[in-house]
Homo-oligomer: A and B are copies of this chain.
């Protein structure tokens, strides 16, 4: 059975995304209290996969996870985009009017703020994890308390959903990366199962006119497309900007040649992983029911 390290407890969005990516409920999750702990776990045991949230359509990139990934010995082996839905969970029998405190991850609290404007007397309490907030309510049989968590957590911890889909914005997708130790990839030869057609790069650029334009021109000449670009100022550094770029391509050899072509114009060019363009859960709100494998690029 596959072992997958997830951030947060069982029933979290990380577990949902892991099962969707591996297309089976039959995985053994290793629960980690933080992303730092998740990376340490993978470092110690090369047989474990990991899954980390990397960006969200509402809040953008999770820059801390980019930093952790860049500095770890791990590589991206796949991706999955999950539509995020938040449920309000409480002990069986509780009603919304009984609730005095709601506990969840700060991101989940913020994403449901419109819902709670109707209930200004409910205290919003910040905790490390969505699903574990539910587990804590169950374990301690806490009346008057609710958690914001995925539906899977309600099932797992035998809680009632007392308010459904309470997220303010329904166009709320999180992109998860599936990561693994480099040596593990070589062992399992995952890469032969699906063609590699996507890559995530990080590099720095000198403070020079048109330095990014040159890099993107070369990638275009090699028919390499982009599906993401983000500059990041590096405070207190001589090299003022880092760039995170996702590339999409058909010809793997051309992609490798393009890296050789841009390397001399960049600094610390590093691949965070080469993988197959991922799938995503369907968005029941928009008409955009196409799978992500039809990746749009620029």
How many copies, total?
A: 2
Instruction: Give the distance to chain B from A148, nearest Cβ to Cβ, in Å.
Output: 11
> What is the 8 Å Cβ interface bit string for chain A, positions 51-82, against chain B (1 contact, 0 not)?
00000011111011000000000000000000
Which B residue's beta carbon lies closest to that of A287? B236
Which residues of A come within 8 Å of B, CB atoms? 57-61, 63-64, 106-107, 109-110, 123-127, 171, 173, 205-214, 216-217, 219-220, 223, 225-233, 235-237, 240-241, 283, 285-288, 296-298
CB-defined contacts of A231 to chain B, threshold 8 Å: 226-230, 298
CB-defined contacts of A123 to chain B, threshold 8 Å: 125
Asked if B229 and A220 make an inter-chain contact with CB atoms under 8 angstroms apart, the answer reads no
Asked if A209 and B235 make an inter-chain contact with CB atoms under 8 angstroms apart, the answer reads no
Asked if B58 and A60 make an inter-chain contact with CB atoms under 8 angstroms apart, the answer reads no
CB-defined contacts of A237 to chain B, threshold 8 Å: 288
Asked if A296 and B60 make an inter-chain contact with CB atoms under 8 angstroms apart, the answer reads no
- From the candidates B109, B212, B230, name the one contacting A230 in the complex (CB within 8 A): B230
CB-defined contacts of A171 to chain B, threshold 8 Å: 235-236
Instruction: Give the distance to chain B from A219, nearest Cβ to Cβ, in Å.
Output: 7
Asked if A60 and B57 make an inter-chain contact with CB atoms under 8 angstroms apart, the answer reads no
